Structure 1
Amino acid sequence: MKIVVASKNPVKLKATQNILEKIYPAVEVEDRDVDSGVPDQPIGLEVTVQGAINRAKNVFSPDFDLSVGIESGLLEVPHSITGYLDLQWCAIYDGEKITLGVSAGFEYPPMVIEQVLGGKEVGDVMDQVTGVDKLGQKTGAVSHLTQGMLDRTGNTEQCVLMAMVPRMNDDLYFE
Structure 2
Amino acid sequence: MSTTPQKRATQHTPFSPRPKAQTPRTPKTPGAASPTKRGARTAGPGRFSRAGVQLTKAGVAFGDAFKALGQAVGALVTAPPASSAKAQFHTVVIGSENPVKVGAVTAVVADYPEVIRPGTVLESVTVPSGVPAQPVGLAVVVSGARRRARNAHEAAGGGSRTLAFGIESGLIEVPRESTEHKLARYFDVCVVALYDGGHMTLGLSCAFQIPPAIAAKVMGDEAMDLSEATVAAGYSKDGAIGSKGGLIGALTRGRVTRRDYTIQAIRMALTEREPRASRGLPAASLRNTVAVTEA
Judge which range, 132-141 or 19-28, deviates more: 19-28
> Which of 158, 161, 167 is the aligned partner of 2:264?
158
Question: Among the aligned pairs, what percent are the same residue?
Answer: 35
Greater RCO, CA 8 A, separation 6+: 1
For residues 49 and 152 of structure 1, what CA distance do their matches in structure 2 show? 18
More strand by share: 1
TM-score relative to the length of structure 2:
0.56
CA-to-aligned-CA distance 1:127-154 (integer Å, 9 cap, x gap): 3430012001011111111121111111
For residues 126 and 142 of structure 2, what CA distance do their matches in structure 1 show? 18
Counterparts of 1:33-44 in structure 2 under 5 Å? 33-44=126-137
Q: Secondary structure at the match of 1:23?
A: coil
Give 1:78 deviation, angstroms.
Answer: 2.0
CA-to-aligned-CA distance 1:147-173 (integer Å, 9 cap, x gap): 211111111101111000000144654
Amino acid aligned to 2:230: M
Amino acid aligned to 1:65: T
Q: Secondary structure at the match of 2:130?
A: coil
Counterparts of 1:1-175 in structure 2 under 5 Å? 1-24=90-113, 25-26=117-118, 27-60=120-153, 61-62=157-158, 65-79=162-176, 82-118=184-220, 119-128=223-232, 129=234, 130-170=236-276, 173-174=288-289
CA-to-aligned-CA distance 1:30-79 (integer Å, 9 cap, x gap): 11000100111111011100000000001103366200000001011124
For residues 276 and 158 of structure 2, what CA distance do their matches in structure 1 show? 21
Q: Note closer, same or farther for the CA distance 1:68–1:170 as it changes in structure 2 (3 Å cut).
A: farther
For residues 31 and 65 of structure 1, what CA distance do their matches in structure 2 show? 13
Q: Secondary structure at the match of 2:255?
A: coil
CA-to-aligned-CA distance 1:4-52 (integer Å, 9 cap, x gap): 1001100000001111111124343211000100111111011100000
- Structure with higher Rg: it is 2
Contact 1:127 1:134 in 2 (8 A): no
CA-to-aligned-CA distance 1:97-149 (integer Å, 9 cap, x gap): 10000111001110000000011111111134300120010111111111211
Amino acid aligned to 1:41: Q
TM-score relative to the length of structure 1:
0.92
More helix by share: 1
Contact 1:19 1:157 in 2 (8 A): yes
Which consecutive residues of structure 1, in runs of 5 or more, have no partner in the other structure? none
Judge which range, 163-172 or 43-52, deviates more: 163-172
Q: Secondary structure at the match of 1:22?
A: coil
Contact 2:185 2:212 in 1 (8 A): no
Q: Secondary structure at the match of 2:108?
A: helix
